[in-house]
Amino acid sequence: MKNLLTDISGVRVGHADDAALASGVTAIIFDTPAVASVDVRGGGPGTREDALLKPDSTVEAIDGIALSGGSAFGLDAGGGVQAWLAEQGRGFRVREAIIPIVPGAICFDLLNGGDKAWGRFPPYRDLGYAAARAASADFALGSVGAGLGATTANLKGGLGSASAQTEGGVMVGALAVVNAVGSVTVGDGPWFWAAPFEIGNEFGGRGLPPSFTADMLRARLKGGPQAAASANTTLVVVVTDAVLTKPQARRLAMIAQTGMARAIYPVHAPLDGDVVFAAATGQKPVDPLFGLTELGMVAANTVARAIARGVHAATALPFLGALPAWGNRFG
């Protein structure tokens, strides 16, 4: 196991980004269509095809997911991923027509110092295509892809991933783009809120502080009172090799959202656009009650770990006034 989303067989991840732009795209590609749904908790989300993922909508399975910076401009990334999949002959068939199904979500990184003067058309469709084409079993963490321009309240954000399995051997992986209005660390110290769920020293092994002060528990909010809706978001993709129905995938996404609450303080705010996609590749049966509950529990813990790993692995942007990375301060 690589402790990545791609520990789930049949899943590949690719990044494409632009250093001058300080933004990018991450594509999740399924080798065969995966049953999927979504849960949205943030007050300022930006999503593509989320209605299609509702349990009462017709299409059951998806071919890929596009995560992007660029705020609403980044929704174009899904078209690039879709174009690459169409070239592979992938998609939902309606007689002779084939339509790749690519939900997606975006985060706001327009004010991070990068050059956003892209002219008439934003670059995210081309970045989406390049990310899909680059998808493989191995991928980088930190300031890459959709996480390149991400920030949190006090430290550089980034892209993280983690994986685990239930006692019965069902696999689950998570990928997170961490651009939260809140903080992933406790106070001004090196401790991650997700510390109780850390495996090994995957994000520094610092544990929790010996005690909590009032200062540690006060709100640290990106932008303070001037923060704008849709300016902050954590995007998560959870994938399992379990056999799930679409309603069960929706329930998995809902339980997995609790992983954000274990890793970000505060979370699901009016200023956040927090989204969890859940997908199942359909290889291992699970009990629909206790088995699904255990899977959700493990998924939530894995989401918390992926969020912490994204901040732990991030590197600071090379712009005046850019937030420091965790490694700069505590590494």
Q: What per-residue confidence (pLDDT) applies to 230? A: 40
If one counts every other C-beta atom within 10 angstroms of the C-beta of residue 17, the result is 21
What percent of the chain stands above pLDDT 90? Answer: 90
Contact 159, 178 (CB under 8 A): yes
**Which structure tokens are listed for 217?**
């528990």
The CA-based angle 22-150-272, given to 5 degrees, is 135
Q: What is the mean pLDDT of the chain?
A: 94
Tell me the mean pLDDT in the region 33-38. 98
Q: Closest Cα partner for 193 from 92, 312, 105?
A: 312
**For residue 58, is it left (φ>0), alpha (ψ between -120 and 50) or beta?**
alpha
Q: Among candidates 263, 186, 173, 272, which has minimal Cα distance to 222? A: 272
Q: Which residues make Cβ contacts (< 8 Å) with residue 315, sequence separation at least 6?
A: 142, 143, 156, 158, 325, 327
226 pLDDT higher than 80: no
Is residue 227 scored above 50 in pLDDT?
no
Query: Whose structure tokens read 């690459």?
Result: 84
In whole angstroms, what is the distance from residue 70 CA to residue 76 CA? 9
Task: Please tell me the predicted confidence (pLDDT) of residue 224.
Answer: 60
pLDDT tier at 244, thresholds 50, 70, 90: very high
According to DSSP, the β-strands at 233-242 and 275-284 are parallel
pTM of the shown model? 0.96
pLDDT band of residue 229 (cuts 50, 70, 90) is: very low
How confident is the model over 52-111, as pLDDT tens digits?
A: 999 999 999 999 999 999 999 999 999 999 999 999 999 999 999 999 999 999 999 999
CA 280 to chain CA mean position, Å:
16
pLDDT of residue 231: 55
pLDDT bucket at 228, cuts 50 / 70 / 90: very low
pLDDT in the model for residue 220? 84
Taking residues 309-329, what's their average pLDDT? 96
Q: What is the pLDDT of residues 62-76, one digit of tens each?
A: 999 999 999 999 999
Return the SS3 of 135: coil
Question: What letter does residue 35 receive in the DSSP assignment?
Answer: E
C-alpha–C-alpha distance, residues 250 and 53, integer Å: 8
% of the chain exceeding 70 in pLDDT: 98
Q: Is the pLDDT of residue 43 over 90?
A: no
How large is the average pLDDT for residues 270-295? 94
Using CB atoms within 10 Å of the CB of residue 283, give its burial: 0 to 12 exposed, 13 to 18 middle, 19+ buried. middle
Q: How far apart are CA 291 and CA 243, in angstroms?
A: 11
